[in-house]
C-alpha cells in the first residue's frame, strides 16, 4: 500500500529523532512491501525563524493532504519571549484544531525491562502499571474565551465544554477500554466546577446507554494526581479534560522514569492522526547525539496501528524496541544510575533497525 506521511520535525531534538523514526519506517515499508511517501513541513520556532509564523498555511495544507502526520517537538528558550500568538506552541494547538484532532491518547506504562527506572517505591514499581490517558484536546480552557480588562491588570480564561465535545471524547475512551482491561476512570472537579458536573453527567449517560459492559468510576483531579504516585496500577483508562489531561499525563509519564520511551496519538473523526513523542524539544541536548529516538519510533508505530491499520508492522517495530531494551541497550536518559556507558541516539536507532 502507498501512504503519504507528513513529517513535522520542529525544534530542538525534533529533527534528529524524526530522521531516526523515518529510517525505521522506511525499513519497515521495505520489509512489508509498502510505499511510504514523506514530505517535510516547518512548524514551531524554526517556522517562526523562516516564515515569521509558527504554523505556515503550507504546513496545514500539507498535513491535510497527507494520510497522517508525525511530529517531533516544538519550542525552546529562543522563542520564549514571543507574544502569545507567535509562540511555537501555537503550531501544536493550531494543528490540533485544523486537523480536528479532539482526542489525545497518552499511554504511560512501565516496560518490564525498565522497572528500575520507575521513581515509585520498589514494591509498587514491581507491580508495574499501564495507563492510557484519553485527554480531550480541542476544547476547555485551552480554547475558551480569554482576555484582559482595559487596564491590563486583570485577566481571564474560560473553561467551557459542550456535551457533544465531552461525549465524542468519552466514546473513544470506552472503545479503547474495551480493548484493554475494561475500566474507565473519569477525572474531573465536579465538587467545584459546573463544566465538570456536565462532564460527569455526560460520561455517565453515554456509559449507561452504550457501554454498560465497561466499569466506570469517577475521581476528582486532585485525588487522581495522588493516586498516580500512590499506586498507579489502579488505573486502566483515564478520560479527562484538556487541561487536567495535560497535567496528569506529564505526571504519569514522569513516574515511569523513562519519558524518552513514551509516544502519543491525537485523533479525530478521520483516520488521519498526529503522532508525537511526549518528551518535548529538549533544547539542552539538541545536537549532542544524546536524544533517545525510541519515543519517536514508537509514535511512528502507533501511526501504523491507528491510522493505517497496519497492526503486524506496528508489532514489528514495538517488538524490535523491546528486544533491544531487553538485551540491555540503553541511551543516557534510561541508563542505570551511575552507568558510564550508553548508546548515542543514532546507535540506538541502528540497534532497532537491526531487529526489523
| Interaction partner, residue 42 (ligand IPM, Mn ion, none; CB < 5-8 Å by kind) | none
Please report, as residue ranges, which positions from 255 to 284 form the binding site for ligand IPM (by CB under 6 A).
none
| Interaction partner, residue 89 (Mn ion, ligand IPM, none; CB < 5-8 Å by kind) | ligand IPM
- Dig out the grid coordinates for 167 from the structure: 461525549
Specify the stretch interacting with Mn ion by CB under 5 A; choose among 152-160, 224-232, 246-254, 327-335.
246-254
Distance of alpha carbon 313 from the chain centroid: 20
| Of the candidates 354, 332, 334, the residue with the CA atom closest to the CA atom of residue 344 | 332
Half-sphere exposure of 284 (CA within 13 A, CB side): 2
CA distance linking residue 314 with residue 308, whole number of Å: 10
CB of 246 to ligand IPM, least distance (A): 5
DSSP state letter for 336: P
Residues with a catalytic annotation lie at 142, 189, 222, 246, 250
The strand order across the sheet containing 183-188 reads: 35-40, 2-10, 68-73, 273-277, 263-267, 103-109, 130-136, 237-240, 183-188, 215-220
Asked if residue 342 lies in contact with residue 324, where contact means CB atoms within 8 angstroms, the answer is: no
CB of 58 to Mn ion, least distance (A): 26
String of contacts with ligand IPM for each residue 102-141, x by CB under 6 A: ----------------------------------------
- Please say which residue, 111 or 266, places its beta carbon nearer to ligand IPM: 266
| Interaction partner, residue 92 (Mn ion, ligand IPM, none; CB < 5-8 Å by kind) | ligand IPM
| Of the candidates 306, 286, 272, the residue with the CA atom closest to the CA atom of residue 62 | 272
| Interaction partner, residue 286 (ligand IPM, Mn ion, none; CB < 5-8 Å by kind) | none
String of contacts with ligand IPM for each residue 229-248, x by CB under 6 A: -----------------x--
String of contacts with ligand IPM for each residue 62-101, x by CB under 6 A: ---------------------------x--xx--------
Specify the stretch interacting with Mn ion by CB under 5 A; choose among 85-93, 128-136, 137-145, 245-253.
245-253
| Kind of pairing between the strands at 146-148 and 155-157 | antiparallel
| Kind of pairing between the strands at 263-267 and 103-109 | antiparallel
CA distance linking residue 215 with residue 211, whole number of Å: 9
Taking 3-state DSSP, the helix, strand and coil percentages for the chain, each rounded to the nearest 5, stand at 50, 20, 30
- Please say which residue, 56 or 72, places its beta carbon nearer to Mn ion: 72
CB of 253 to ligand IPM, least distance (A): 10
Which of 246, 276, 313, 333 is the binder for Mn ion (CB under 5 A)?
A: 246
CA distance linking residue 192 with residue 276, whole number of Å: 33
CA distance linking residue 335 with residue 126, whole number of Å: 18
CB of 278 to Mn ion, least distance (A): 8
- Dig out the grid coordinates for 140 from the structure: 476547555
CB of 241 to ligand IPM, least distance (A): 12
Number of residues lying near ligand IPM (CB under 6 A): 4
Q: Please state the length of the chain.
A: 356
- Please say which residue, 140 or 316, places its beta carbon nearer to ligand IPM: 140
Specify the stretch interacting with Mn ion by CB under 5 A; choose among 148-156, 240-248, 254-262, 344-352.
240-248
| Interaction partner, residue 136 (ligand IPM, Mn ion, none; CB < 5-8 Å by kind) | none
Between the alpha carbon of residue 58 and those of residues 8, 15, 86, 136, 329, the distances in Å are 12, 18, 17, 26, 40
Q: Which residue is nearest to ligand IPM (CB)?
A: 89
Asked if residue 186 lies in contact with residue 166, where contact means CB atoms within 8 angstroms, the answer is: no
- Please say which residue, 91 or 176, places its beta carbon nearer to ligand IPM: 91
| Of the candidates 245, 181, 167, 187, the residue with the CA atom closest to the CA atom of residue 215 | 181
Q: Which residue is nearest to Mn ion (CB)?
A: 246
- Under the rule (CB under 5 A), what is the footprint of Mn ion? 246
Contact positions vs ligand IPM (CB under 6 A):
89, 92-93, 246
Amino acid at each position: 500500500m502507498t501512504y503519504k506521511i507528513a513529517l513535522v520535525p520542529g525544534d530542538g531534538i525534533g529533527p534528529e529523532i524524526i530522521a531516526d523514526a523515518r529510517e525505521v519506517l522506511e525499513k519497515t515499508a521495505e520489509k512489508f512491501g509498502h510505499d511510504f511517501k514523506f514530505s517535510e513541513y516547518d512548524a514551531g520556532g524554526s517556522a517562526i525563524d523562516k516564515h515569521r509564523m509558527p504554523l505556515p498555511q503550507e504546513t496545514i495544507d500539507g498535513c491535510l493532504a497527507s494520510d497522517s502526520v508525525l511530529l517531533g517537538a516544538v519550542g525552546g528558550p529562543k522563542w520564549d519571549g514571543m507574544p502569545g500568538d507567535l509562540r511555537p506552541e501555537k503550531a501544536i494547538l493550531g494543528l490540533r484544531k485544523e486537523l480536528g484532532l479532539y482526542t489525545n491518547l497518552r499511554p504511560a506504562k512501565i516496560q518490564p525491562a525498565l522497572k528500575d527506572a520507575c521513581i515509585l517505591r520498589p514494591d509498587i514499581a514491581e507491580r508495574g502499571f499501564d495507563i492510557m490517558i484519553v485527554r480531550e484536546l480541542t476544547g476547555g480552557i485551552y480554547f475558551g474565551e480569554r482576555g484582559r480588562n482595559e487596564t491590563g491588570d486583570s485577566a481571564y480564561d474560560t473553561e467551557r465544554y459542550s456535551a457533544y465535545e465531552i461525549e465524542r471524547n468519552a466514546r473513544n475512551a470506552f472503545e479503547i477500554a474495551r480493548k484493554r482491561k475494561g475500566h474507565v476512570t473519569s477525572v474531573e472537579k465536579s465538587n467545584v466546577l459546573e463544566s465538570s458536573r456536565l462532564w460527569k453527567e455526560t460520561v455517565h449517560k453515554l456509559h449507561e446507554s452504550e457501554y454498560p459492559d465497561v466499569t466506570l468510576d469517577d475521581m476528582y483531579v486532585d485525588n487522581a494526581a495522588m493516586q498516580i504516585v500512590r499506586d498507579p496500577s489502579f488505573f486502566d483508562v483515564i478520560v479527562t479534560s484538556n487541561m487536567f489531561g495535560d497535567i496528569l499525563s506529564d505526571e504519569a509519564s514522569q513516574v515511569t522514569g523513562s519519558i524518552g520511551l513514551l509516544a502519543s496519538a491525537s485523533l479525530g473523526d478521520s483516520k488521519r492522526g498526529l503522532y508525537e513523542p511526549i518528551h518535548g524539544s529538549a533544547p539542552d541536548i539538541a545536537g549532542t547525539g544524546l536524544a533517545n529516538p525510541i519515543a519517536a519510533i514508537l509514535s511512528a508505530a502507533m501511526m501504523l496501528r491507528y491510522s493505517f491499520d497496519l497492526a503486524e508492522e506496528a508489532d514489528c517495530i514495538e517488538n524490535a524496541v523491546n528486544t533491544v531494551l531487553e538485551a540491555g541497550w540503553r541511551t543516557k536518559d534510561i541508563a542505570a544510575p551511575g552507568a558510564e556507558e550508553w548508546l548515542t541516539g543514532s546507535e540506538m536507532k541502528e540497534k532497532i533497525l537491526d531487529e526489523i
